[in-house]
Chains A and B, each alone.
Chain A
Amino acid sequence: MIGKRGKLLVLLYAALLAVLFLMCSTELIIREPEKEIYQIAVIIEDAKDDNYSSFRKGMDQAAMEYNADVRFITLYEKMDAAQQMELLGREQQDGADALIVAPVDEDRVKEALDGKQVTVPVVLLGTEQAEEEVKRAVITDYRKMGARLAEQMQKRLPEGCPVLIFSDQENRSAMSRYFLEGAEAVLLDGGHKCSIAVREKELGYRGALEELRASGQGGAVLAESPEILAETAGLLADDPPYAGYVQGLYGRGSTLPILNDLDRGLISGVCVTDEFSAGYYSVFMAVQALEDSGRQTPVVMDSYYIEKQDLRKPEYEKMLFPIE
């Protein structure tokens, strides 16, 4: 039999247990470290994400490692600067802690940053602004990339071989513009005649290829953007006779269709950057900015010229076909 005192002790013990249980369950004693999830919005310049597949893999990898919730946003219309600015505002208002932006119009984005319309940290992508002007950016020097490609083209093309530049001036991004400026300067210096062919409404670039065939002398083709490069490779695949007049198809980009066409020999050579790392660094920089961990400097991405035989080289394979 338990005495009166014993009963009191049992009651006290039970009460103590109940209090301890309540304290534990309400995290008064054992508090789990709170992990903050950073909300990051990525706003690109395009209406499709076709050129961003490796970039997204790198971005997702960094998001997992640094506890970020990344939202990838494309524009309704390609190269719509006004809409991009609207989205910057909307995402900031919707609680984004940081923004990663591939600007359609660099000046407008810079104005918004300077004018404090955007108050959260911003990481710029592919910008040409001087390194010292921007604190947080993943920079690719597209002029340098164009020049690098043109140097390689010169080595491979016959002397004075004309170069037909396939361009889409209506929807031209800053990246394409800088890339062509870099390439054209080197090609002209090397004595190659460059002429620009713009996309025709119905025929696309087929008309330009027909003209090349009609001229009888042929020439090389340089595509200003990854989309145009893939489209031109498709034209060469559909109409093999064109290939006889095209002494080489060159451009930039590392999307899967481009790499497949390089492998099939439809594309002669491309300049690429490490898109996976660019995606990774952009999220990493955004998180760093939020944690305010040290001084930040822009990351400058290098570019590489590759041909079919380089696709399986270990140093390029990992970069071109990244696995998350």
Chain B
Amino acid sequence: MTGRKIRVLLLSACVLLTACRGAQKEEQKTSIRIGISLYRGDDTFINNIRGVLEEKAKEYERESGIKVILDIQEAKGSQNTQNNQVERFISLGCDVLCINPVDRMDASVVIDRAMTAGVPVVFFNRQPVEEDMNRWEQLYYIGVDARETAVLQGQMLVELYQEQPEAVDLNGDGVVNYVMLEGETSHQDSLIRTEWSVQTLKDGGVPIERITGGIANWERSQASALMEQWLSAYGDAIELVLSNNDDMALGAIDALERAGNTKVNVVGIDGTTPGLEAIESGRLLGTVSANKELYASAIMELAASCALGEEPPEAYPLTDGIYYWTPQEILIRDIGR
């Protein structure tokens, strides 16, 4: 065979291979499978997001004609369990993973497994450390800006104080005594929410004084127990309860109601369904709510685009190509302003 013939043969083979590859690429996926792992199944906010996410998946399926299979698992607060779930998702052939990390400092195992299998990951609600997020271009995060949340919580009270000081300074002594319910020890969101809500109150000219505070791990029952202790120790001195989330705020309200005290102002964060109901019934003063429709839509749309190998959707602009921050709003009880 002459050299010329060999070259022609090789060229033809290359063209054929490229054509085959092209045809393969054009083949449209008719279904996508999304593996979702939640850090805990009993967190009200996470459950709210889960419910909306399921709705959004159905909407997406109806609009695009692409079948969406959601595999939803709860990690029950164990990073180890979550790592195993990720492994199972990958072996079941999930096209993309949506992970609500148990331990935001320890997302590396999830990332390692996903990177090895080439499966993109959309983290949500609990933000992995920046170093981890920068390890691969197929990692995304959807959540709320914790500082913005805290500033809005503080702002809600500043505005109320400016309009009706007596509605916040209940005993009219010129000082608003507050207690603080915090989420988790050393949890980034918890620390930021605590620091910035207080800072905003101070910056806004509300004369606040901290009586005490405690960690209730985002849980209603733990917050209720703490509040009960504080009520027996400080009684009527407490004028305001600042809570890192709605579940703990509702726990404080439970304790206040048991003690027959309905005057103390309680504010939360998240805008959960029970939280919104409590605002409606006048038990909770206010909350900061992320737009859950947008939150869940962003997760669904971004996950779908990853699964289909498309560019991230333009409707959800990503900061640094990684982060989508969901808009938030203040929801406050109508107190006749």
Contacts and interface: CB of A to CB of B under 8 A. Distances in A.
Interface of A: 48-49, 60, 69, 71, 74, 76, 90, 94, 234, 238, 256
B47 to A, nearest CB: 10
Nearest to B54: A74
A243 to B, nearest CB: 15
Interface string B184-213: 000000000000000000000000000000
B51 A48 contact: yes
Contacts of A74: 54, 58
Given A48-B51, A76-B58, A94 B67 contact: yes
B92 A69 contact: yes
A76 B54 CA distance: 10
Nearest to B92: A69
Contacts of B51: 48
5 contacts: A49-B54, A74-B54, A76-B58, A90-B67, A238-B277
Nearest to A47: B58
Given A48-B51, A69-B92, A94 B58 contact: no
Mostly, the A contact residues are mixed
Contacts of A60: 73
A47 to B, nearest CB: 8
A238 B92 contact: no
B84 to A, nearest CB: 11
A94 B69 CA distance: 12
A71 B54 contact: no
Nearest to B58: A76
Given A71-B69, A238-B281, A94 B31 contact: yes
A76 B62 contact: yes
Contacts of A76: 58, 62
Nearest to B41: A53
Contacts of B92: 69
B292 to A, nearest CB: 16
A238 to B, nearest CB: 6
Contacts of A48: 51, 54
Contacts of B54: 48-49, 74
